[in-house]
């Protein structure tokens, strides 16, 4: 499957939020937290706002590391979401939407006042 993006550099704000999430959840790997964040954003019915996101941190993740064993499934979920939102599924659109969903999801998780430990993160799957 052709990848929409080879690697993504996170914004400094996203990095700072992930540091907070790592501390709260005790999940050490950026990629695992990023998968949770991406899926959290996909679960939101609204389309992410097309805001510019700087790539100004030193955190860079390849798609392979981000997705791990689930990389193909996450790509299919992204394509399906773009289709449902009436967007294209060309490489540029997928890359942009991935970036928007990832950063929005990180913001949602970091801003959730109920997310204080890993159990709270798991509870999100039941809602």
Model pLDDT, residue 4 = 74
Helix (H) or strand (E) holding 55: none
Rounded to the nearest 5 degrees, what angle is found at the Cα of 12, between the Cα atoms of 8 and 16?
110
Q: Which of 95, 102, 94 has the alpha carbon at shortest distance from 14?
A: 102
Model pLDDT, residue 119 = 80
Model pLDDT, residue 1 = 64
Record the pTM: 0.92
Q: Under a CB-based contact definition with an 8 Å cutoff, are residues 3 and 79 in contact?
A: no
Give 10-residue mean pLDDT values along the chain (127 residues): 83 96 91 95 96 93 93 95 96 95 96 82 72
Maximum alpha-carbon separation in the chain: 38
Model pLDDT, residue 127 = 61
Model pLDDT, residue 97 = 97
Model pLDDT, residue 77 = 97
């Amino acid at each position: 499957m052709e990848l929409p993006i080879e690697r993504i550099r996170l914004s400094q704000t996203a990095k700072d939020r992930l540091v907070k999430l790592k501390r709260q959840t005790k999940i050490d790997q950026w990629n695992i937290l990023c998968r949770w964040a991406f899926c959290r954003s996909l679960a939101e019915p609204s389309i992410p706002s097309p805001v510019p996101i700087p790539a100004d941190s030193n955190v860079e993740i390849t798609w392979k590391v981000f997705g791990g064993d689930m990389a193909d499934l996450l790509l299919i979920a992204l394509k399906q979401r773009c289709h449902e939102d009436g967007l294209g599924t060309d490489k540029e659109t997928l890359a942009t939407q991935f970036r928007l969903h990832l950063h929005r999801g990180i913001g949602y998780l970091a801003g959730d006042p109920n997310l204080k430990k890993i159990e709270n993160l798991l509870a999100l799957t039941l809602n």
